[in-house]
Structure 1
Amino acid sequence: MNHWLVKSEPVKYSWEKFNKDGRTFWDGVRNYQARNNLREMKEGDLVLFYHSNEGKAVVGIAKVVREFYQDPTTEDPNWVVVDLSPVQTLKTPVTLETIKADGQLKNVSLVRQGRLSVMPLKVEEFDRILELGS
C-alpha cells in the first residue's frame, strides 16, 4: 500500500462536501508530476486530505476506490483522475505550521514542493501526521 496527500481549496471542494458526497473523482490536476502521482495510485491506498490556501491543514483520511482513468472534464488524454472516498476526519487538523515545525516531517513533499497538489508520502510521514492529528 502507498500513501498520498491531495490538496484542495475548501472554497472549491471541502472535506465537509467530500463527506456529504461520499465519493468523488479527483479532477483538475494539470501538473505532470501530480498527474504521474495519480497514475501511481492503487485501489486501497490511503490519502491525506489537505485544505490549501484557507486553513492550510490536513483534515481527514480518504482512500483510493478506483484507479486512474481519463479525466471526464477534458478531452485531452494527458489528464487522468482517480476516485476517492472519505474514511475518517482527524480529531485535530494538522496545520502546515505544525508539519514544518516537526523534525520528523522536515522532508515531506508538502514542505519541499508546496505547489504540488498530489504527492506521495512515506509511511512514516503518513503515520506521524495521523499521530499529530489524534
Structure 2
Amino acid sequence: MPRRYWLMKCEPEAYTIGDLERDRSTTWEGVRNYQARNLLRDDMQVGDGVLFYASNAEPSGVTGLAEIVRSGFPDPT
C-alpha cells in the first residue's frame, strides 16, 4: 500500500514540533470531532507520514515532518 500523509494540527502554545523532537514520540489525545477521532484510531497506520501543522502561529503552516510509529487505540480521555 502506498504511504499516506496526514495533516496533524496543533496550537503552538499547547505542543510544537520542537516538543516532538525533544519527546521523540507523543499521543494525540482529547480529540472530540468524531471523524478525526475515527481516523486517528482506525485509519492511521505505522509508517504513514505526518505534516505537523502549527495553527494560530505567525505564520501558520507546516513546521515539520513526522511518522506514525504505533497503531491507533481508543482515546483514554
- TM class by shorter chain equals 0.7 to 0.9
What is the Cα-based RMSD across aligned positions, in Å? 1.0
Per-residue CA shift, 1:7-57, capped at 9, x if unaligned? Answer: 000100111111111110111211011112212000000010000112311
Aligned mate of 1:34, from 26, 30, 36: 36
1:49 paired residue number: 52
Structure 1 or 2: more strand by fraction: 1
Structure 2 counterpart of 1:69: 73
Q: TM-score, normalised by structure 2?
A: 0.87
Alignment gaps of 5+ in structure 2: none
Which deviates the most, 19-28 or 40-49? 19-28
Question: Which residue of structure 1 aligns with residue 26 of structure 2?
Answer: 24
Q: Write 1 or 2 for the structure with the bigger share of helix.
A: 1
Q: Measure, in 2, the Cα distance between the counterparts of 1:48 and 1:58.
A: 6
Q: List, as ranges, runs of 4+ consecutive aligned residues in structure 1 with deviation greater than 3 Å.
A: none
Deviation at 1:6, TM superposition (A): 0.4
Greater relative CO (CA pairs within 8 A, separation 6+):
2
The percent of aligned pairs where both chains have the same amino acid is 49
